[in-house]
Structure 1
């Protein structure tokens, strides 16, 4: 009986430590350039300065998501020069191994069994369209270290079809419960899949 209790206690301790280690792992560390970390810090500085809700993280993030979902976000005021610079560095390195963005046509063809010359020619003009690489290492890390099922479910859907509008993704994330919403995995997903994905499209407008 005593041995059984000791084994049970040991199992609980090991399991708890494993969960803690999983949730506390910094997914940004998989990028040895440090760009992901700098870009995330720039994103948070932008939205906290723009919305001015003090340290109210949930209100700040949800207000940002609500504006994206309703297409009412003021993109003339929100992005800082630093965030635009980070965006251009992401775009410049999109062909590099480990890039967190990928050409839409390449993403769609990853699971195609037969890629014909006709298909390649048809999608040649789509190479400039970039989407977040939902099957890449960074996003999979966010998925695996998420504290709840909501983010995992969203990523599972996007893995199958990444060509989903940013406003729809913002709507879905907006309703994630506070306990999961306030996690670093969700915040980084918002930063890169929403904020920087938008900037990837509009950065040329900033000269």
Structure 2
């Protein structure tokens, strides 16, 4: 094989390895969902975020302020979400019906850990909504984790994989302990949008009529 060909091959191999891990753009986890709902919902979240805090020019500060207010339970959830985000949360809620969904019933999540079937709902609780949690073992979150260069962020996800029934305020606190550089990454921002923001909206969406 000619020397120039070998050099070119090594260059391509280097790009293939380095670019995805450095920028997270080579493997767009948002594209795993073909309808485009995930991409649309992330864009809606960031629009809500920057509008609420008026920090378009300082994304990291906006994200950290959001995490701090979720941690302290001081955020005004009546004013923060747009109609678009509320409707998207309702859509996610309707389609959360399988082990590969972005969100999953807590009973199914806990059963999957033990390899058991989810328990049949009690008749008395038949009309009550089951608790939904973010699916930390699903393809979307695994894509995010595998593309991240932050071991601290991966550790957060690893912990949640074992026990997903954790308050958003606790998760937000751990995320806010990440460095500015870690927060200002493709993977962490997406995680905050879905695991924190939309998980909360799915619980409170009925309050918006």
The change in CA–CA distance for 1:122 and 1:78 in structure 2 (over 3 A counts) is: same
User: What is the TM-score of this pair, normalised by structure 2?
Assistant: 0.87
Distance 2:174 2:7 in 1: 39
Distance 1:121 1:84 in 2: 28
- Equivalent residue, structure 2, for 1:35: 37
- Equivalent residue, structure 1, for 2:18: 19
Task: Show structure 1 runs of 4+ deviating over 6 A.
Answer: 7-13
Alpha-carbon offset, residue 197 of structure 1 = 0.4
The change in CA–CA distance for 1:122 and 1:11 in structure 2 (over 3 A counts) is: farther
Q: Secondary structure at the match of 1:79?
A: coil
Alpha-carbon offset, residue 147 of structure 1 = 2.4
Where does 1:80-159 land on structure 2 (aligned, <5 Å)? 80-96=82-98, 98-115=100-117, 119-121=119-121, 125=125, 128-159=130-161
Are residues 1:67 and 2:72 paired? Answer: no
Q: Report how many aligned residue pairs link the two structures.
A: 201
- Equivalent residue, structure 2, for 1:201: 203
Contact in 2 for aligned 1:180/1:186 (Cα 8 Å): yes
Q: Which deviates the most, 125-134 or 97-106? A: 125-134
- Equivalent residue, structure 1, for 2:56: 54
Distance 2:182 2:9 in 1: 28
The change in CA–CA distance for 1:112 and 1:59 in structure 2 (over 3 A counts) is: same
Distance 2:117 2:39 in 1: 36
User: Unpaired runs of 5+ in structure 1?
Assistant: none
Contact in 2 for aligned 1:103/1:127 (Cα 8 Å): no
The change in CA–CA distance for 1:99 and 1:111 in structure 2 (over 3 A counts) is: same
Contact in 2 for aligned 1:105/1:123 (Cα 8 Å): no
- Equivalent residue, structure 1, for 2:187: 185
Deviation digits for residues 71-128 of structure 1, max 9, x if unmatched? 0110010000000000010011011563200000000000224559xx5456994862
